[in-house]
Amino acid sequence: MDSLVFLIPLALVFGVVALGIFFWSLRSDQYEDLDGAAERILLDDEDDA
Amino acid sequence: MSCCAADAAAAARPVNAAVSREELLLASRDLGDGVRQVDLAVPEMHCADCIRKIERGLAAVPGVTYARVNLSTRRASVKWSGEAPPLIETLEGLGYAAHLFDMGAEEGDPQLAFLLRALAVAGFSSMNIMLLSVSVWSGADPGTRQAFHWISALLALPALVYSGQVFFRSAWSALRHGRSNMDVPISIGVLLAFGISVYDTYQNGPHAYFDAATSLLFFLLIGRVLDHMMREKARKAVSGLVRLAPRGATVLREDGSRDYLPVGEIEPGMALMVAAGDRVPVDGTVASGASELDCSVVTGESMPQPVGAGSELKAGMLNLTGGLTMVATARSENSFLAEMVRLMEVAEGGKARYRQLADRAAQLYSPVIHATALLTFIGWLAMTGDWHRSIGIAIAVLIITCPCALGLAVPIVQVVAARRLFENGIMVKDGSAMERMAEIDTVAFDKTGTLTLGRLRLEAGGAIDPAAAAIAASLAATSNHPVSRAIAARYGAGAAGLHFTRLAEIPGQGIEAEADGAVYRLGRADWALGAAGRPGEGTVLSRDGQALAAFAFRDDLRPEAREAVADLRQQGIATLILSGDQPPAVAAVARDLGIGDYAASVLPAEKLARVTALAAAGHKTLMVGDGLNDAPVLAAAHVSMAPATAADIGRNAADFVFLRAGLGAVPLALAVSREAGRLIQQNFGLAILYNLIALPIAIAGFVTPLIASLAMSLSSIVVVANALRLKAGREDRRKASRSPALPAAQADTRAIPAGSR
């Protein structure tokens, strides 16, 4: 029973952190170009040209 | 990469010569410190190699400080400082057709961001509550149970307040207008469930419905987000197409200076320059110069029309051969284009009156559900006299019947169907368009640019002497006029064995050249043959005024046009043609396609009247058209479709836009819409079946939160699985279809507006 007192809040904190990370990724436009992100992994680094 | 090679070859011709530096500047936006940004639509990019080529190519242009491609939206965002760089020319050099579009309308998508955030919050709440609920269901002791319920209430609150807004707002606005939609029962169910659960938690009761309330919001929001993303994708793809209306025009001042002004600032009486290849910006009359105009977008006439001083011009016509000076007679908002917009606004009533299936279902559904819940409450109260228990069971009835499956039944099918259409190169504006499409019994086609490609081709010329043909071809190869292109396309570049000197293109007349002391002319009959020729005899090749050969032209039918019309007729759908072109041209196409009912030389208002009359007679009409003159009918018809090459306002008025050249898109859209309609009905059937089973259990008072959650999830999964059965237009079928659209053909149709029409 005692364990619940900190485990539950801990679980919730993790959840809130995950939610915060999602909001951050949304705000930094990471969902703007999903197709492009998929293709860009095939590109070599820019500095080899 | 191989995928780019074909496109590069197809796009290498000059596609968008009309975009000037001034226009680029006008479309760009000032970021401060002399830095400007512009977004370019590059519809033909589709792989990593394209991204690299475009980004490196653009970054190498002097002055460009930033270039980034967005592959999802097929756009390239470029920042530069100093003079406007030759961006479009650079992209064309790389083999990609590119064009500008309006910056203002494209500032991100706040609605999608809000929906995603709402979905995330609802997901966060429902999943954490579910974790706690599992331990409650497996038998936590009352103290822990109450603590867990309180935490759940706390977690449910943000989902209710933030994510719930989406439904509450829509429900409220429907109620305020005395209507009901699907969001009304959803909102009532969620709010009541939350309220009774808080009360129960306070009383330390065994059951709380926080999990049901939040997962309901979560499931429904998934549907909303998918729906919104699909529509947004279609909208962006459509707005990425070539703009046919010019953004500005070069004004000749009285002191001889020239200014490039936005179209909105042009006043009647101003003298304007319209170079060959430009579109007429506002209505006016020709002051000086001679040329030929492509009026196909404005009037539907497929043959170029000669103009000289005094001729009237309508906004949107394309100047083909010679520079013109014109005097504006109307402001942009009073020009032909604006007149069409006004007609459209008047016409739009029909569509606004259409009510979506889901809303009509909700109108039947919510009173039944609310009455059942109320009766359950009264029944239990009468039997047991226990207020709290009666309310609890009534709410369980509301939740178990709550339209989780119903709320998904329609949107999920529409999302799947829209996705399928998208794969086949068809954009759909919204779900109700598919519902309306499934009801049609009549299809009205425009001719030029819709049934035909709006591109001239030489008619079978068996009688033409090969030597004369070769001469014509080598003359034609020097010109960009549609007629010349058609001749050159038929006979190749030509090797006449003649050495031409003094080759000149005379605007509005034709091409003149000298060889071996003889004067050759290729052009209008009354010019090439002098006094002997009569106007309107088509295009003639002459040597010293003697006819060598005469050429007749026709506008090619779109690929799959015959099959599409035959297919529609087989389904018992009436077909007719409404065209602004001359009667003989329309009759020929009608005969070719076997369409008996056609009207030629029709004005936009007459087209409108015809379709309105059909509607009054109880027919549901699909209008397929592309011109400015079709825009009002596209808005007025029960449902409408336009090719990607259509004029901007037509494209915006249409419910469907097809990107491929083939007219097979029309029966395909119809087939997908009809099947989607059937699946929606099945989904309603499944939802009703589910209710028939669940409702007695709920009324009897056996529903616990666990059962409610299971039942809701299960019914949602069944509905989604059923939607995925949609067969029409599947990839494997398309490959086996009559004439698959080639990438080159796609690029070709895009090239038409600015290049060859």
* Catalytic residue numbers of B, as ranges: 446
Whole-angstrom distance, CA of residue B75 vs CA of residue B50? 12
Indicate if the pLDDT at residue B742 is higher than 70.
no
Please give the DSSP secondary-structure letter assigned to residue B455: E
Q: How far is B70 from chain A (nearest CA, A)?
A: 6
Give chain B positions within 8 Å (CB) of A11: 128, 131
Residues B659 and B741: their CA atoms lie apart, in Å, by: 10
Cross-chain Cβ contact B124/A33 below 8 Å: no
- pLDDT of residue B14 exceeding 50, the answer is no
Of the candidate ranges B369-383, B488-502, B718-732, the one whose mean pLDDT is the lowest: B488-502
Residues from chain B that touch A8, judged by Cβ atoms under 8 A, are: 132, 151
Query: What tokens does B676 get?
Result: 């989607």
Q: For residue B75, what pLDDT is reported? A: 81
CA distance B131 to B109: 33
Whole-number pLDDT of residue B441: 92
Interchain contact, B124 vs A15, CB within 8 Å: yes
Of A22, A31, A33, the CB nearest to B71: A33
Of B48, B113, B128, the CB nearest to A15: B128
Position B714 scores a pLDDT of 83
Radius of gyration of chain A (CA): 19
Q: Positive or negative, the Cα torsion across B258, B264, B270, B272?
A: positive
**For the segment B571-599, what is each residue's pLDDT rounded down to a tens digit?**
889 999 998 888 888 888 898 888 888 88
* Residue type present at position B26: L
Rg over CA atoms, chain B: 31
Q: Reduced to 3 states, what is the DSSP secondary structure of residue B199?
A: helix
CB B102 within 8 A of CB B39: no
CA distance B569 to B561: 12
Query: At residue B11, does pLDDT exceed 70?
Result: no
Checking phi first, is residue B641 left (phi over 0); if not, alpha (psi -120 to 50) or beta?
Answer: beta
Cβ atoms of B542 and B520 within 8 Å: the answer is yes
**Residue B565: pLDDT over 50:** yes
Q: What is the mean pLDDT of chain B?
A: 79
Of A4, A11, A35, the CB nearest to B72: A35
Mutation for testing the B interface, residue in A27, A40, A48 having most B CBs under 10 Å: A40
pLDDT one-digit tens code per residue, B18-55: 456 777 777 777 777 888 888 887 877 778 888 888 88
pLDDT of residue B378: 93
Instruction: Please answer yes or no on whether B113 and A26 come within 8 Å at the CB atom.
Output: yes
Q: Is the pLDDT of residue B450 over 60?
A: yes
| Shortest alpha-carbon distance between residue B59 and chain A (Å) | 12
What distance, in Å, lies between the first and last C-alpha atoms of chain B? 31
**Which is it for the CA torsion B418, B421, B427, B430, positive or negative?**
negative
pLDDT of residue B137: 85
Mean pLDDT over residues B644-671, rounded? Answer: 84
Interface confidence, given as ipTM, is: 0.82
Going along chain B from its start, the domains and CATH numbers come out as 2-107 (3.30.70.100), 110-236+380-416+673-726 (no CATH), 248-342 (2.70.150.10), 426-454+557-659 (3.40.50.1000), 460-551 (3.40.1110.10)
> B193: Cβ–Cβ under 8 A, 6 or more apart, which residues?
B209, B210, B212, B213, B395, B398, B399
**Is B599 within 8 Å of chain A by CB?**
no
In the structure encoding, which two tokens stand for residue B344, read together?
Answer: 């459209």
- Asked if B120 lies within 8 A of A22 by C-beta distance, the reply is yes
Query: For B662-688, what is the mean pLDDT?
Result: 90
Residues 6+ positions from A38 with CB-CB distance below 8 Å: none
- Chain B residues with CB-CB distance to A23 below 8 A: 117, 120
Angle CA(B161)–CA(B167)–CA(B169) in degrees, nearest 5?
80
Give residue A24's pLDDT. 92
User: Which residue is associated with the tokens 């998929």?
Assistant: A38
Q: Which one has a higher pLDDT value, B360 or B171?
A: B171
A-chain residue closest to B59, CA distance? A46
Residues 14-43 of A with CB under 8 A from B: 15-16, 18-19, 22-23, 26, 31-36, 39-43
* pLDDT computed for residue B743 by the predictor: 38
Q: What is the pLDDT of residues B391-420, one digit of tens each?
A: 888 878 877 776 666 677 888 888 888 888
Contact B166, B734 (CB under 8 A): no
Interface-testing mutation among B45, B50, B70, with chain A (most A C-beta atoms within 10 A): B70
Three-class secondary structure assignment of B348-408: CHHHHHCCCHHHHHHHHHHHHHHHHHHHHHHHHHHHHCCHHHHHHHHHHHHHHHCCHHHHH
Say what the pLDDT of residue B739 is.
40
Tokens of B734: 């398309």
